[in-house]
Each structure stands twice: as structure tokens, then as C-alpha cells.
Amino acid sequence: MSVSPGRGARPTKGERTSRILPIMMSFSAIRAAFPALDRDLVFLENAGGSQLPRVVINAMTDYMTNSYVQLGAPYEVSRRATAVVNDAHAWATTLIGGTGAGQTAIGPSTTQLVTMLADCYRRVWQPGDEVIICETAHEANAGPWAKLEREGINVRTWRVDPTTAQCDLEELRRMLSSGTRLVAFPHVSNLLGEVVDVAAITKLAHQYGARVMVDGVAYAPHLAVQAREWDVDWYVFSNYKVFGPHAAMLYGRHDAWAELEGPNHFFIPRDQVYKFELGGANHESCAGILALADYFRELTSAPEAPADEFLVTQAFDTIRTIEQSLTSQLVNGLKGIPGIRIIGPQGAEGRVGTVSFLHESVPPPAICQATDTAGVAIRYGHMYAYRLCQALGISLETGVVRASLVHYNSHEDIDRLLDVVEAAVRT
């Protein structure tokens, strides 16, 4: 049964309540867990960076107050600090769903980690080797690979279809060859919001002996990552978009790490992930990353649950349940506003709650000026998906308007955004 895309398609108050009932942690408690939400601001710019739960803030504060020392020294405070950093790395691999299959490096950003990885490959690939970049990529997972062309690497682009805004799997099949070393693509485009079939792309790339580098930044806040199940070689995302500190994590399969040598000091063994962490991981960020498990325990009302993949799955099942109706409300509400065109999937299925749109006559800056005045935080621009905007004929100066929700947003937040956008384009 299809649902009309008009404004009347929003769920009623009763429908909203029934959708929230299965959630083990009440929605009001979820909101209360994030101190930054206690203000008159509708925050729908989560794809740029999410807010922090109190347990994460407290963990980082506690670390800097009580454990702010160098690692590896023979005294108790240093042993506690060392344990936090080590445990954070183990938890990072759990969070990515890669326990037993690989390990995870922690760095300052996705851009830095991918740039580091590309430089490592630069030293082992030969002129004529090939890398394929998906055109829907954020520049973090495109630019570092494209720069290898200077070293004689053959850089090819997996083109997006401008009519569907999708990259066809059969087109990738035609591009792959025995010379392909790696395929770089996003799990979810941070502009389009569509979830792609990582397992299918990975399986196809592996048939030609190529590795995959998956950018999960726009996926990881919404759904559980299952790196081991998908058999990905590399998977990266930014913690500050997944309710954590400004850091990022790069998972790699054991065999993928083994073929590279990291850039850290020559005397550090190459089989340690620390070899790929110049200067080491930020210690207080590790405390915050580790505390995300505590938030997941709160979210699932399981205070004694171990920090394992089952906890991660349960937490993201809860997150997905909340977000599905919000995403439907946002997509349908925007489609019901005359002159609005959504860029990417036109329905709520097969996507996350990151929704980009344009109006036929009102430019993105004017829409965002109206939302800012009304206390609604969204943004406009090319979203660092520069190549994608070029391919779709979207202005690189003004880009698109993007609204992005997560599980702590409410139906009232979406209502307020839609009301402001509708008024802005009507006048």
C-alpha cells in the first residue's frame, strides 16, 4: 500500500506513541541523555556531527581529571590510562563488527586515516596498478586515492547515473580487471542517503583480487556495521558522527594490515596497529569512545550487558526502530511541499535519515537563512561530495540543502523544519 507524499502523511500523535512503545528506554530519557538538546534549537545537522551523551562527556572529563598521564609506565595511574586506550581499540573492533577478523586503528578523522592508508599503498603498488573510485564518494575516500595518479597508478571513476543518482554494479563489473588493486566507495553517500549493498560490491571486487575501502561515515550512526559478515577489507567512520568524540576509526582485516607497513617509528613492530597511528590515539577520545558502550546499555536498558557485538546490534535495532518513522515523515513531508525536489531515494526505504533537497526557485542559502532564524539547524553546500555534485549538475557554490536526523530527534523537530521550509519557499 502506497502512502501519499503530502503533508497529511505525517503520523498522528497516537501512531507516534505506538511506535515508541517497543523502545526499552523512553524517548524522553533518550533526549535527556544528551545535554546539548536541552535548549530551544532543533538540531538536524547530525550528518555533520552528532551530539554527545552525558556518559561520554563524563568519561572524557574523568579521564582528563584522574588518568591524564603517559601510557606504559610502571605505576597505577599509567596502567589505568593504558587499559582505557587498549580497551577502546578492542571496543572499536567490536563496534565495527570485526571481532576475530581484524583490528582497528584510531585517528583524528576519516580523511586523515584514508590519506595515511593511501600513502601506505603508494609504497607497495606499482605503476599501472589500478584503483577505482566511486563518484558518489565524500572527498575523504576519493581525493587520497586520486592523488596516487601522480605515482603512475591508474585511477578510474565508477560513474554515477545522473538520472538515478546511483552507481550500477554491472558497470563496476565491466571496469574490474586483474590489475585492479582497490575499490573505494561509500556505504551511504552523505548527500544522497542511500544504503548500498556492501556485501555484493565486496564479493564482486574480491573475484578480481581487489580490496575494498568502505566509507561508513554516513551509515554508522544509523545501523550496525557488520564488517566481518560483509568480508570488507577496510571500513572507516568518524566517531564524532556516532555520538562520540572528534576521532575516527579504521578497521582492517588482519591480512590487509599485514601487507602494509605503517608510517610510525621504525622500531615499532609492523604487526601492531599502533604502527599506523602517528603520535598514538588521542587518549581522552579513547575514554569517550569506550563510554559509548555505556550509552548503548542505557539505550537498551541492559546495565550489566557486556560490551559485545550483541549489545551493538540491540542498540542499533532500537535506533533503527525510532528513525524509520522519522525518516518517512521527513521524506514525505518534503515531497509534499510544492517545488521541492529530493536528491536521492524518493522514499524512506533503503535510505537513512540524511535527506538533501533543492527548490525550483528558492536557493539553498535563502532556505537555510530562514531555518536559522527559526532556530532550526541544517546546512547547505556540496557536503564534500564535490565530484557527485559535478556529475549531477548541482551548483558547487550553493550545493543542496541537507537535513539529517538521528534517533534523538523527534517528530516535533521534523514538523518544525517542514513548517519553516514550506513558509520559506512560499514567500
pLDDT tens across 313-366, in order? 999 999 999 999 999 999 999 999 999 999 999 999 999 999 999 999 999 999
pLDDT over 50 at 305, yes or no = yes
Q: What is the pLDDT of residue 47?
A: 98
Quickly tell me which residue has 568524540 as its cell.
Answer: 245
Q: Are residues 290 and 155 in the same domain?
A: yes
Mean pLDDT score, 397-420: 98
Q: What is the pLDDT of residue 180?
A: 98
Determine how β-strand 379-381 pairs with β-strand 42-43: unpaired
Q: What is the pLDDT of residue 2?
A: 27
Is 233 a member of any domain?
A: yes
User: H helices of 67-109, where?
Assistant: 76-95
Is 17 a member of any domain?
A: yes
Quickly tell me which residue has 601492531 as its cell.
Answer: 272
Q: Are residues 208 and 98 in the same domain?
A: yes
Task: Name the burial class of residue 373, with classes exposed (0-12), middle (13-18) and buried (19+) by CB atoms within 10 angstroms of its CB.
Answer: exposed
For residue 29, give the CATH number of its domain.
3.90.1150.10
Q: How confident is the model at residue 7 (pLDDT cuts 50, 70, 90)?
A: very low
User: What is the distance between the alpha carbons of residues 35 and 207, in angstroms, rounded to a whole number?
Assistant: 48
Q: Are residues 215 and 172 in the same domain?
A: yes
Q: What are phi and psi of 356, to 5 degrees?
A: -105, 145
User: What is the distance between the alpha carbons of residues 18 and 325, in angstroms, rounded to a whole number?
Assistant: 11
Residues in the chain: 427
Q: Are residues 420 and 281 in the same domain?
A: no
Is 210 a member of any domain?
A: yes
Mean pLDDT score, 206-210: 98
Instruction: Give residue-wise pLDDT tens across range 31-82.
Output: 999 999 999 999 999 999 999 999 999 999 999 999 999 999 999 999 999 9
**Are the CB atoms for 298 and 55 separated by under 8 Å?**
yes
Q: What is the pLDDT of residue 25?
A: 83
Q: Are residues 235 and 113 in the same domain?
A: yes
Q: Are residues 93 and 238 in the same domain?
A: yes
Q: Are residues 134 and 281 in the same domain?
A: yes
Q: What is the pLDDT of residue 24?
A: 64
**Are the CB atoms for 168 and 144 separated by under 8 Å?**
no
Q: Kindly report the average pLDDT of the chain as a whole number.
A: 94
Q: Are residues 87 and 170 in the same domain?
A: yes
Q: What is the pLDDT of residue 173?
A: 98
Q: How confident is the model at residue 155 (pLDDT cuts 50, 70, 90)?
A: very high
The domain total for the chain is 2
Q: Are residues 225 and 128 in the same domain?
A: yes
Q: Are residues 285 and 329 in the same domain?
A: no
Q: What percent of the chain has pLDDT over 90?
A: 94
Cell (9 digits) for 358: 533543492
User: H helices of 161-225, where?
Assistant: 169-175, 198-207
Q: Are residues 126 and 260 in the same domain?
A: yes
Instruction: Give residue-wise pLDDT tens across range 158-173.
Output: 999 999 999 999 999 9
pLDDT over 70 at 18, yes or no = no
Q: Domain of residue 107: give its range.
A: 58-296
Q: Are residues 230 and 274 in the same domain?
A: yes
Q: What is the pLDDT of residue 14?
A: 41
